[in-house]
Structure 1
């Protein structure tokens, strides 16, 4: 590739969700040249609304991104590249990113805001209700399902956590563990004491109408009526590029970062769902802001030391 065609920036942000966009906003206002490389396939695109984000409550993910990009365009040093980053190489001060579209970028600092990706939804009928009446976070979507009959699909300690959490929104819910429940006798007694039904038969399918769940059908023939579902998704790292650079990851596939988003690889930062298990838009945006400050601080210090 002709080196003269390489576009050079202070910072390359891979991922254009709340974390990447907020980082771009802060860096743009700090007068940094930034490229945001994003394929336009966020994990939350299946949902209708974003919640828990003050001034943005109820906005659709698509509108959220459109408003953010419009506001960021007020800072001309920020460039948006609708593309997929496929290769990353180099080191602090001279990273190189190549995209599926054949573009090449160089940047002094690199921010991974690549989020997470859903693994296969291995329950028949779950894909049809995901984002419409089946969700993963009560803090994001519990209000809309308040006081309704719900099913929680999760086992083990996750079942106990969700049982306690969901009680803030409704008292009408059952737990379907889709196989062995992974609970202790004491935990089962806790659920029974609170009249929380527990079903450990594998799930046959989810029945719904126009995206609204009606029954969770178990392989033993039982049908659990409900109008909403919360479930524990199987998540994967949003990209293998951080690993290719040697970034440290947790068992859950999250980047290990410091308070300003820095990873173990000098010049490489992480933010949002890529570096957290708290999957809320407002938290991702806040992490993006902190990472942007961390990146700008490093660039300022480097310039200061060279003077």
Structure 2
């Protein structure tokens, strides 16, 4: 077979292909040669420009999703550690909470998500360098996530004679002095959600007297910040993270007076200015005490002995025996 002889045009085309294949990719940009001629770039400026063009760019389909992640994600300092916080819902207490993950756990959870990786690296992500605070006063806390969500209802004028009758004739058993005390105790709760009551109210009565009706209504009105419990460990146990953003606690048949180990803890959470709060697998922290404690029971002996001993300002518990003859049905 006779050898193939390249003509001039074919040879030139082949040489251009080889040169284009092996030259700097930046040179392939349309108009690059003309750009150099017009601006007369020096070598160092040209090198810097090439470097800038080679910088990695965020994925175009994920860069706009940072705002969406910010709705329920944040990087939060938790004591001496920094965690990725994810807003979640506590099925036990029926309230919002924050799960704190390490960066490794977060990456494992979203190991195939470019959106999650992009959010974590973005300068626009939510970051709380001062961690969590809980402040119902509305004060601004820089770089901190305030857990206060407000009351669950809005105050409006209305007719409330039925519940007032229940307070006077059932909870106070017709005693006007007790009636006024109960009204003022609950008014203090709404007027001073950031201050502890320093006295717990206890309603004792037989089954079906309606001793818990008022307390349950109060807890519902507080939404996120009211908790209804029925076991003593949730009041005096070691792990009490639910106190972190709680202003009212209703212990419904939850306390046994023979629990000597819980006596000191009960006194502390009623009267002290601060609380030690500890979640499982996390450092214990000290927070301001804002608890207003209500207890209802049909037992004769409800709280440990000693809680009704007068202090400088009076006893730390006030017991009201509910009447079962005037219950509102």
Higher Cα radius of gyration = 2
Q: So what's the TM-score if we normalise by structure 1?
A: 0.22
Q: Which has the higher strand share?
A: 1
Q: So what's the TM-score if we normalise by structure 2?
A: 0.21
Of structures 1 and 2, the one with the larger relative CO (CA 8 A, separation 6+) is 1
Q: Which has the higher helix share?
A: 2
